[in-house]
Amino acid sequence: MSQILMVTGAAGGLGRALIEIAGRSDVRVVAVGRSEERLREAVPNVALHIAADVSTYEGAQSAVSECVSKVGAPTMLAHCVGNIVLAPAARTTEAQYRDVMRANLDSAFFMLSATVAAARTAAQPASLCFVSTIAAQIGIANHEAVAAAKGGLEAMVRSAAATYAAQSIRVNAVAPGLMETPAAAKFLSTPTLREASAKQYPLGTIGSPEEVAELMLWLLSDAARRVTGQTWTIDGGFTAIRPLIR
C-alpha cells in the first residue's frame, strides 16, 4: 500500500524539516497550513497543499476530506501545529490561554478525530504522531498554559491508542525540549541567550527540528509497529538526568 503522509503546521520549522526528510522516500506528502501562499513557498514539492485552520473542527474535517478526495485517506499523520506562550498563570490573559489551547490541544483532538474516522472508513491501518513538550513532563516555571494543553494532548494520545489498537491504528507523541524553529526564535535571538539555553540541557546543545522529525518519522513507520500510546522524550537529558550531582 502506498503511504500518504499528512503534515499539519507544514510551513512551520518542524513541519518543514519533516517534509524535507520524508521527501527522500516514496511517500506522498500532503501539506496543511492556514495560508496556501506560505505553504507553497515553504514546501513546494508535495503531492497536495491544503489551506485550512485545523484548530477548528470544521477546518480539520475539511482538510482530511480534501486529502481523501484528491489523494486518498492519510495512512500517517504528523501533527506539527502548536505555539509557545510563556507567562505565569496570573499574567496570562484569557485570549492568550484560549489561543494556546486552540493551537496545541483543540487542533490535536480535531485532527485525531478526523484522521481516525477517515482510516476507519477506508478500512486501513494508520499511524499518528503528535508533538508535546518537556513542560508537560516536569514543572518548568511560566509554562502553565502550554503545560496544560500538552498534558491534555499526552493523555489524549494514551486513550486514543487504547481505543483504536484493535483497528491497527497507532497513536504516539514526541516531547522535545527547546528546538531551533521560528516558535523559539525569541529565546535564541542573541549569543548570550543561546548559550544560556544550551547550558540548561545536560548534553549542552539546543535541539534541531531535523532530529525531532527523524524520531516522528520512525514512530510513524512500520519499524515502530509495536509502539503505541507513548510519548517519546527528546531533550538532551533535561527531564531524566542530574549530571552535576555526584
Please report how many Cα atoms fall inside a 13 Å half-sphere around the Cα of residue 237, on the Cβ side: 12
- With binding defined as CB under 6 A, does residue 9 bind ligand NAP? yes
End-to-end Cα separation, the chain, in angstroms? 52
Furthest C-alpha separation in the chain: 59
Q: How far is CA 246 from CA 39, 138, 200, 204, 243, in A?
A: 49, 22, 18, 18, 7
Q: How many residues bind ligand NAP (CB under 6 A)?
A: 30
For residue 175, what is its C-alpha cell?
516531547
Minimum CB distance to ligand NAP smaller for 32 or for 119: 32
Minimum CB distance to ligand NAP smaller for 82 or for 152: 82
Q: Restricting to residues 173-232, name those near ligand NAP by CB under 6 A.
A: 176, 178-179, 181-184
Calculate ∠ Cα 171-172-173, nearest 5°: 140
| Chain position carrying cell 506528502 | 29
Of 12-20, 86-94, 110-118, 164-172, the window that binds ligand NAP (rule: CB under 6 A) is 12-20
Q: Restricting to residues 34-63, name those near ligand NAP by CB under 6 A.
A: 34, 38, 53, 55
- The single residue among 3, 7, 13, 169 that binds ligand NAP, judged by CB under 6 A, is 13
- The single residue among 4, 7, 11, 63 that binds ligand NAP, judged by CB under 6 A, is 11
- The single residue among 18, 29, 80, 145 that binds ligand NAP, judged by CB under 6 A, is 80
Contact (CB, 8 A) for 116 and 73: no
Sign of the Cα torsion 145, 193, 210, 23 reads positive
Minimum CB distance to ligand NAP smaller for 53 or for 154: 53
CA distance 184 to 79: 18
- The single residue among 7, 14, 73, 118 that binds ligand NAP, judged by CB under 6 A, is 14
- With binding defined as CB under 6 A, does residue 152 bind ligand NAP? no
- With binding defined as CB under 6 A, does residue 75 bind ligand NAP? no
Please report how many Cα atoms fall inside a 13 Å half-sphere around the Cα of residue 44, on the Cβ side: 1
Q: Cβ-count burial of 26 within 10 angstroms (0-12 exposed, 13-18 middle, 19+ buried)?
A: exposed
- With binding defined as CB under 6 A, does residue 66 bind ligand NAP? no
Write down the least CB distance from residue 51 to ligand NAP, Å. Answer: 8
Q: Restricting to residues 87-146, name those near ligand NAP by CB under 6 A.
A: 99, 102-104, 107, 131, 133
- With binding defined as CB under 6 A, does residue 153 bind ligand NAP? no
Residues near ligand NAP, by CB under 6 A: 9, 11-15, 33-34, 38, 53, 55, 80-84, 99, 102-104, 107, 131, 133, 176, 178-179, 181-184
